[in-house]
Amino acid sequence: MKKILMILLIIILVVLAAYAVTHLHIRASLNERFCLWEKQSAIIKSEGLKITLINAIYSPCPKNAMCFWSGVGADLNISYAGNSTRILGTVSTDAFGYKILVSDISSFRSCFIVNKME
């Protein structure tokens, strides 16, 4: 009985830790690389910009296969000054006067650099 309770406690702790990691907002800065897990947000406080990774799309075509679609991208929700937009970014995307560079896309995680457009 103690073993079962211990296993259940460990499972609960792992689930809570995973929930906390994916639901926390991180702070990011302009011109600096940051990474997000799916459903996680970054806030660039100095700019009032919030970027949420809705879905990391990692779907390369396997070797010697015929694929209908192959590629990688990041499904993003970007909020600024009370407005928000949803964008599928592949390499870079523009929103609200900012250029968002997308890199290191893998299953469930993507990295970004945000620059102000001039």
Least confident range from 7-21, 64-78, 91-105: namely 7-21
Mean pLDDT of all residues in 99-110: 84
Tell me whether residue 7 is in a domain.
no
Q: What does the pLDDT read at residue 60?
A: 77
d(CA 23, CA 42): 11
Region of 97 on the Ramachandran plot (φ > 0 left; ψ -120 to 50 alpha; else beta): left
Tell me whether residue 38 is in a domain.
yes
How much of the chain, in percent, has pLDDT values that exceed 70? 91
DSSP state of 2: H
Mean pLDDT of all residues in 54-68: 82
Number of domains the chain contains: 1
Tell me whether residue 86 is in a domain.
yes
Mean pLDDT of all residues in 37-66: 89
20-25: Cβ within 8 A, 24+ apart: 25/50
Q: What does the pLDDT read at residue 62?
A: 82
Tell me whether residue 51 is in a domain.
yes
Least confident range from 6-20, 32-46, 58-72, 83-97: namely 6-20
Tell me whether residue 12 is in a domain.
no
d(CA 22, CA 11): 17
- Please tell me whether the overall predicted TM-score, pTM, comes out greater than 0.85 for this model: no
Statement: residue 22 has pLDDT above 60: no
Q: Give the sign of the dihedral formed by CA 108, CA 29, CA 96, CA 100.
A: negative
Would you give the distance in Å from CA 27 to the centre of its chain?
Answer: 13
Domain enclosing residue 56, as ranges? 26-116
